[in-house]
């Protein structure tokens, strides 16, 4: 027998599909018009639409010009860490090691408009989300909200205050009549 033809060799190439996670961030601000020294509330919502878990996720909120940070909290979602110090280079950063497919989180950022901010100033808040995992749609990774600084609305008169008004009239008797 011929032993040289008793073996065969096959080469198989394994292509690993790149992991992808479609992260998104949305933002709502309240109120849309604000007065200097009033607070603005920003609600950020981050979600992973998949198809893979997102690794090393970071949500960054840039504190708007003409404002001062009051607070920053995770209001829904678990495992998120805030940057320390809370504000690093005018930013608040929330991070998480892994965000599962379908997982979402909500963050509340509160700022106070500085007292010397001029009427008509536009206050813009920008939030972004990024990950070490490839994101197939980067267009939904940034959200902006704007508020306009306006004048304090005129106050209504307080009609609950009571005033006592005393009227007096002098009456004189003439012609012998008595009162």
pLDDT in tens, 53-111: 999 999 999 999 999 999 999 999 999 999 866 666 789 999 999 999 999 999 999 99
Q: For residue 168, is pLDDT > 70?
A: no
Residue 120, Cβ density class (10 Å: 0-12 exposed, 13-18 middle, ≥19 buried)? exposed
Question: What is this structure's pTM?
Answer: 0.74
DSSP tag of 173: -
pLDDT (0 to 100) of residue 163: 47
In angstroms, how far is the first alpha carbon of the chain from the final one?
A: 155
Query: What pLDDT is recorded for position 16?
Result: 57
pLDDT tops 90 at residue 7? no
Q: How far apart (Å, rounded) are the C-alpha atoms in residues 28 and 129? A: 15
pLDDT level of residue 126 (50, 70, 90 thresholds) = very high
Distance CA(39)–CA(114), nearest Å, equals 9
What is the predicted pLDDT for the residue at 177? 55
Query: Does residue 5 sit in helix, strand or coil?
Result: helix
How many whole angstroms separate alpha carbon 153 and alpha carbon 155? 6
Whether the predicted pLDDT of 6 surpasses 60:
yes
C-beta neighbour count of 137 within 10 angstroms: 11
Residue 155 reports pLDDT greater than 60: no
Q: What is the pLDDT of residue 142?
A: 98
Tokens of 28: 């709502």
Taking alpha carbons only, the member of 60, 169, 35, 51 closest to residue 115 is 35
How does DSSP assign 29-88, residue by residue? EE-SEEETT-EEEEEEEEEEEEES-EEEEEEEEEPPTTEEEEEEEEEE-SS-EE-SSS-S
Q: What's the Cα-to-Cα distance from 53 to each of 94, 97, 119, 155, rounded to whole Å?
A: 17, 10, 45, 52
């Amino acid at each position: 027998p011929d032993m040289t033809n008793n073996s065969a060799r096959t080469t198989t190439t394994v292509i690993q599909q790149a992991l992808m996670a479609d992260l998104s961030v949305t933002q709502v601000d309240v109120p849309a018009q604000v007065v200097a020294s009033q607070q603005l509330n920003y609600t950020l919502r981050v979600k992973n639409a998949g198809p893979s878990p997102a690794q090393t996720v970071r949500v960054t909120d840039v504190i708007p010009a003409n404002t001062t940070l009051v607070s920053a909290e995770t209001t829904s979602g678990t495992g998120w860490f805030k940057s320390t110090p809370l504000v690093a280079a005018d930013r608040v950063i929330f991070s998480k090691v892994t965000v599962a497919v379908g997982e979402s989180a909500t963050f509340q950022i509160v700022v106070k408009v500085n007292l010397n901010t001029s009427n008509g100033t536009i206050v813009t808040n920008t939030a972004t989300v990024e990950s070490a995992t490839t994101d197939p749609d980067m267009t939904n990774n940034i959200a902006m909200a704007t508020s306009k600084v306006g004048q304090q609305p005129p106050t209504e008169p307080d009609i609950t205050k009571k005033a006592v008004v005393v009227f007096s009239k002098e009456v004189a008797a003439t012609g012998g009549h008595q009162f």
